[in-house]
Structure 1
Amino acid sequence: MTSPPSRPFGSRPADSRVPASRTPWHPGQVAARRPFLDRRTVLTRDTRAFLAERGYAEVETPCAVPAPGEEVHLRPFATTREMPDGSLQPLWLHTSPEFAMKRLLVGGSGPIFQFARVWRNGEASPLHAPEFTMLEWYRPSAGMDDLIDETTDLLRAVLPAAVTCRGVTTDLSKIERLTVADAFARYAGVPDLLSLGEDAAGLAVTAGTRLRTGESWEDLFFRLLLERVEPHLGRTHPTFLTHWPAAQAALARRDPADPRAAERFELFVCAIELANAFVELTDPVEQRARFLADRARRAALGGPDWPLDEDFLAALEYGMPPAAGIALGFDRLAMIAGGADRIAQVLWLPPADLM
């Protein structure tokens, strides 16, 4: 009996009916993504070199954790650990390595970075994937200006002088720094955002819009941000949107010069939100109060529940050094580096529904 002729590993007979259009592993699809993936490889190498040259140590932290964070609107993936005695421990795939990396700062790690695989349920779009790579780095004793300067240096080190992505060209030779209050005055018609506090009705009147049924101040703030402000950011030059209202401080400390604002910034390049950064809150009492408030809001919305992260709060009580940290969407940076239109183009094996 004659054996069938051999063929190269991974090849298919000519009459194969494998659908190429939504099959991420199809050779035609991999070949189409390959230029973007090769650019990503270079970008990863250059980013590691940039941070290593500045004294950062690369770390790895657990992905499955007892408490994934207290962000109200992020939906983590649930999983379960089976212990040697057969008991079960509920765990969650982290939405960010932030808590773990701050524990390391408390332990004396010094400046650290991580290419972290993170998970956020319910997210899928040309700019969102449910599993993606977050580049996070933290430097003790750094302030907002230090982190903005370092982030600008990173962009210029790993990207060309001008980048084009999704039809927008951004020149990296200059940067724009804009406070949230100034951005709302310029683009949303709100001359003094911080003086309004969390007055939803007052914000609606000032912005010349109607408050929708059940719309909170936070809901309206983000509606105005998304519809009126963000479309103008990170176009001609990268935009650092700084000094967020204290109600949106997240894990950032309040600005000592104006406690109505927090020392937080977001970065926009090619009109894409690329990074979120804080001068870190190190006060365990204020952090606990924020956690409890976020947990109450999430419960009111019917969100999932998990134990309060007492270990993280204990680390803060032990003493976290003053620090600044940033979370940068590395897949989006790869899109900008390679000029990709969709996040699926820069993923080696994207979910089929993103193709």
Structure 2
Amino acid sequence: MATEIATKRLKANAPLIGTHNGHFHADEALAVYMLRLLPEYASAALVRTRDPTVLETCHTVVDVGGEYDALKNRYDHHQRSFDTAFPDHKTRLSSAGLVYMHFGKAIIAQHTKLPIDHPDVELLFRKLYDDFIEAVDANDNGISKYDGSKLQEAGIEQKFKDTGVTLASLVNDLNHEDPLTLGAPSRATAEQPQAEEDYRFSQASTLMGTAFLRKLHGAATAWLPARAVVKEAFDLRTDAHRSGQLMVLPRAGIPWKEHLYNIEDESKIPADKQILFVIYPEKEEPGSKWRIQAVSKDFSSFENRKSLPEPWRGVRDEELDALLGDAVENGAVFVHASGFIGGHKTEAGVRAMAALALEA
């Protein structure tokens, strides 16, 4: 990919990054920040202009210039002919997406101290695009998350306005005078009106970049390690129950849902062999109660592949023990009225509940 090409072209001295002046947006603010995460760009100066003669002197140009050419380090997306999307996606890229597509793996490899061709870098590369970058691309290109006409046809109405609290809207706010500094000396002068604007852009870049780094850090230190745990539990599913449809997690607090769906897809297991229930300890300490949770049909669905048996739903304690019978030791805690989750005081008890639920 062009990451290696772009890196080879960097000069020994700090390269000059160019972007446009005037009203700034979340995409170029993030693009500049991401470039500066790399050692080659760490001390890069930034010039904000639309003057083509000045942009010509820049090593790397983002979001201006009407040209996308990774060999020349030009990353604009405004030209009519531009239709590039991230691999296996349909959303047209913004300058943030372009920079991420070409330099994202290098940024992730540096942050995680993994080789750039490590499979975990690829996993994080796609994860960060899905969870963060794509929304920036869509916002800058005026792409809505939902088809408005379809929502209207379905009679779905928006209950409140949330556009004022998005990262893009907060960046937009920085284009205007800061009410917290009204009356304070401006950084601009009559001779240098660009100074205040550039300062505000630097604030916007830090805002976007800090959010990106938080997402990257969380994915690398929590989401990725969880995948290894879920994969091991998935591989041992036939040890958990002869059906292979029960998964046992070794500790509490593991974010398992997204990983399970991805691992099942990668494994290409048929629908009638998918995991139906997951059990796990409620807390980290020894002697913790255990939970059993039904697996929903997809990541955002409230409908389960198989719910806990209807007679158990909404029942607690001794009454639930009586329903479960001799196959489950006493110590049942509850089953939710919707049948998506339940609990028992012991691991053996919740395993027995799972066995009954699978056979029901």
Structure with greater strand percent? 1
TM-score, reference length from structure 1: 0.25
Larger radius of gyration: 2
Give the structure with the larger helix fraction. Answer: 2
Greater RCO between the two (CA within 8 Å, min separation 6)?
1
